[in-house]
Structure 1
Amino acid sequence: MSIRDLKTFLHIAESGSFAAAARAIYRTQSAVTAQIQALEDQLGVSLFDRTNRPPSLTEVGRAFVVRAKEVVSAYDALFQEAVLEALRGQFRLGVVPSVMTGLTPRLLVLLGERHPGLHIELEMGLSAELVAKVEGGALDAALISNPLEAGESLKWSPFLHEPLVLIAPIDAPPKKAAELLRTYPFMRYTSQAWVGRLIGRVLEQKRLHVRETMVLNTLEAITAMVHAGLGVSVVPLRLVEPVGSPPVRVVHLPGQRVYRTLGLIEVNGNSKAALSKTLLVALKDIVAPLREGGTSPAPQLLKQPRNIK
C-alpha cells in the first residue's frame, strides 16, 4: 500500500466516480480501477460496491475514508514541517552596493513577514569579491549584476534586467545622449565593479566619447553629483530606487538598449538551496508588479566572457 493508493481512493470517494478521479490525477480509468483492486486485495476487504453504477462506497469503505484522510494529512504535514524547518536559521547573503539601498530593504521586509524564523546576515561588496566568497563558502549566495567572471561550479539565477541610461542634471537641456556627453563632464562608475566594465564597453561600442572628471563606486554618489550639476553619467536605471533619491534627467542611449542583469548566484548543490529559492521567489514577487506591463524586457547582450553553465 502506498500513499498514492490512498490519495487515489480519496479522489474516488470525493468525486463519486472512478472516471472523475482518473481525470483529476491524469491517469486512465482502467489504471485507477486496477490500483483500487490491488488496494482491496491488500486490505482483504471490498471498499466499493460494484453492483451499483457508478460503484459506491461500502460501509467498510466509508469507514476507511476517515482513516485514509488521517494518514494522508499526516503524510503531507510531515513534508510541510520539513519545508518550514528549512526556512529557519541563518542565511549569509552578499549584496552589491547598487542593490543594497533600493531592493534589499524591501526584500528583508517581505522575508520577515513570510518567514519570521529566517535571519539574513548581509555583507556588501563588489561582484567579484562576493562571487569569490560564495565559491569559498563564506557566503551562502549573493545578489550581483552580470557575472563576468565565475567558475563552472556556480548557479546563476537572473531575476531582473535594468537598462543602461544617461543621467544628467534636472535642468539640463533636452538634448540627445551623445550631445550631453560631449557637453558635460563625465563621472564614471568604477571599473572594479562588473557593471562599471559593462558601461565602459557600451561607451566604446556605441562610440560615445566622454570627458572624464571623476570615478565613483556607488550609484548614490554618482546620482548626487549629477543632481548637483557636476556632470553626467551612464548607469543602470534601477527599478527600485532608494527612498529620497535626488531627481535627475534620464536620457536613453542611442541604438538598441543594453541591460545589466541582476541575479542570485550560489554554488551548485548548495546545502541551503531551499533558502536560496525562497529569496528568489521573494525577489521576483517584489519586482513583478513594478515592471511596465508586468514583464521585464529581454536583455541585449554585449560580447563578454561567461563561464557559468
Structure 2
Amino acid sequence: MLRELKTFLAVVRHGTFARAGAQIGLTQSAVSAQIQRLEDELGFALFDRTGRSASLNAAGKRTVEVAQELLGVYARLATQGAVSENAGLLRVGAIASVQSSLLVGAIQQFRAALPGWRIRVSPGVSLNLLAQVDSGEFDLAVIIKPPFALPRELKWHLLVSEPFVLLVPRKLAKESWRVLLAREPLIRYDRNSFGGRLVDRFLKRMRINVNDVVELDELQGIVGLVAAGVGVAILPQAATLHIPSGVREITFGNDTFYREVGIVERAAADKQGAANNFVAYLRAMGASGKA
C-alpha cells in the first residue's frame, strides 16, 4: 500500500493523474490503477470522478494528512536500529546542480564529525523535493527557493544567489541581449522548475516575445545545445556548469535577476542534532563560495 499512498499524494500534489504520472514516471492509466487499488483496499473513494476529471472528495482530503504521516513514520524506520544520537540515517534530497559542488564538501565534513551516521542523497526537481520534505520522506533538501511562501513548519536557509546570464554562441557575443532574445531561437529552462519560472517571469517583465525551440531542465544539456548553435539560453551562473570556449555569457546589467539555492528542512526530533550539523556544513560551504 505504500506505493499507492505515494502515488495518491503525487496526484494531490500535482492536481491530475496525468501530471502526477509524468512526475513519478508512470502512465496515466498506471496511476489510475494504483488509485483504484488503494480505494479498494481502504473501502471508500478518494476522488469524485466526472468524465475525464477527478477531484479530491471529503474522504480524500481527510486521507491526505494520514497518508503523509504513515509515509513519514515508514521513512523513519531505517533509523530505529540506532541507539544513540551518534548513529542513524540522514535522508537528503538535492537538485542536480549542487550534488557535485557544495554537497561534496558538506558530506565530507559530516562524515568526519559523525562517522556513525549514514547519508542517503536522492535527486529530484525542487518542487518534488520540497513536497517530500514536507511529507517527512526527507529530513532536508537543497533546492531552488520556491516562488511562493513556505508552510510554517518548514525552515529556509539561503546558501547561494546565482545571477542569470544569457548564453550565446561566441560569434554573437557583441550583440545586445534584448536583440538576441527577440531574434534568436531560445533553448528554454523548463518552466515546470522553479528556475524556469524565474526565466519566464523575467521575459514577461521585459515584454520580450521569444521563439522557443527546445525546453528542458538539464542545465549542462542546455549549454551543450548553445555550443552546438541550436539557439541562445538564459541560465544561472551555477558553479558546476562547464562553459565551453565556443560559448559566451552576456550579463543583463541593471535587469539582472537571481536564482536562490538553499536548504529546506523539517528535521525530526531524533535527528535534530545530525540534521543541524549537516545544515551548518552546507551553509559553511555556501559562505565559502564553493557552491
What range describes the TM-score normalised by the shorter chain of this pair? 0.5 to 0.7
**Change beyond 3 A, Cα 1:125–1:253:** same
Distance (Å, rounded) in 2 between the aligned partners of 1:177 and 1:290 = 27
Q: Partner of 1:138: helix, strand, or coil?
A: coil
Unaligned runs of 5+ in 1: 1-84, 297-309
Shift of 1:87: 5.4
How far apart are residue 270 of structure 1 and its match? Answer: 5.2
Q: Distance in 2 between matches of 1:215 and 1:234?
A: 12
1:236 to partner: Cα distance: 1.2
> How many Å apart are 1:269 and its aligned residue?
6.3
SS in structure 2 of the partner of residue 220 of structure 1: helix
C-alpha contact 1:156 1:266 (8 A) present in aligned 2: yes
Q: Alpha-carbon deviations, 1:144-191, whole Å to 9, x = none?
A: 111234422211111211111111123433122112213321011111
Matched, 1:223 2:223: yes
Instruction: Determine helix, strand or coil for the equivalent of 2:256.
Output: coil
Correspondence 1:192-211 to 2 at 5 A: 192-211=192-211
Equivalent residue for 2:234? 234
Larger radius of gyration between Structure 1 and Structure 2: 1
Matching residue of 1:246: 244
**How many angstroms apart in 1 are the aligned matches of 2:270 and 2:155?**
13
Aligned Cα root-mean-square deviation (Å)? 2.4
Q: What amino acid sits opposite 2:265 in the alignment?
A: E
Instruction: Name 2:138's counterpart in structure 1.
Output: 139
- Whether 1:169 aligns to 2:169 is yes
Distance 1:131 1:290 in 2: 24
Whether 1:129 aligns to 2:128 is yes
Aligned length: 206
Name the SS of the counterpart of 1:272 in structure 2. Answer: helix
Matching of residue 119 in structure 1 with residue 118 in structure 2: yes
Contact 1:155 / 1:268 at 8 angstroms: preserved in 2?
Answer: no
Which structure 2 segments of 5+ residues have no match? 1-83
Amino acid at match of 1:230: V
Letter in 2 for 1:170: R
Q: Distance in 2 between matches of 1:279 and 1:223?
A: 31
* In structure 2, distance between residues paired with 1:114 and 1:277: 12
Give yes or no for contact 2:98–2:240 (8 Å, CA) kept in 1: no
Letter in 2 for 1:108: I
Query: Comparing 261-270 with 208-217, which one deviates more in the overlay?
Result: 261-270
More displaced 10-residue stretch of structure 1: 216-225 or 166-175: 166-175
Structure 1 residues 270 and 178, CA, compared in 2 at 3 Å: closer, same or farther?
farther
Aligned mates of 2:195, 2:86 — CA distance in 1: 32
Structure 2: how far apart are the matches of 1:219 and 1:132? Answer: 22
TM-score for the superposition, normalised by structure 2: 0.63
Partner secondary structure for residue 108 of structure 1: helix
CA contact (8 A) 2:173 2:248 kept: no
Q: What is the CA-CA distance between 1:96 and the residue it aligns to?
A: 1.5
Matched-pair contact (CA < 8 Å) for 2:187–2:213? yes
Find the aligned partners of 2:98 and 2:243 in 1 and give their Cα distance. Answer: 14
In structure 1, the partner of 2:285 is 286
1:178–1:122 CA distance, 2 compared to 1 (3 A): same
SS in 2 for 1:290: coil
Identical counterparts, % of pairs: 28
Alpha-carbon distance change, 133 to 107 in structure 1, aligned in 2, over 3 angstroms: same
Residues 175 and 285 (structure 1), Cα distance of their counterparts in 2 relative to 1, 3 Å cut: same
Distance 1:183 1:87, change over 3 A: farther
State the distance in 1 between where 2:171 and 2:267 align.
49
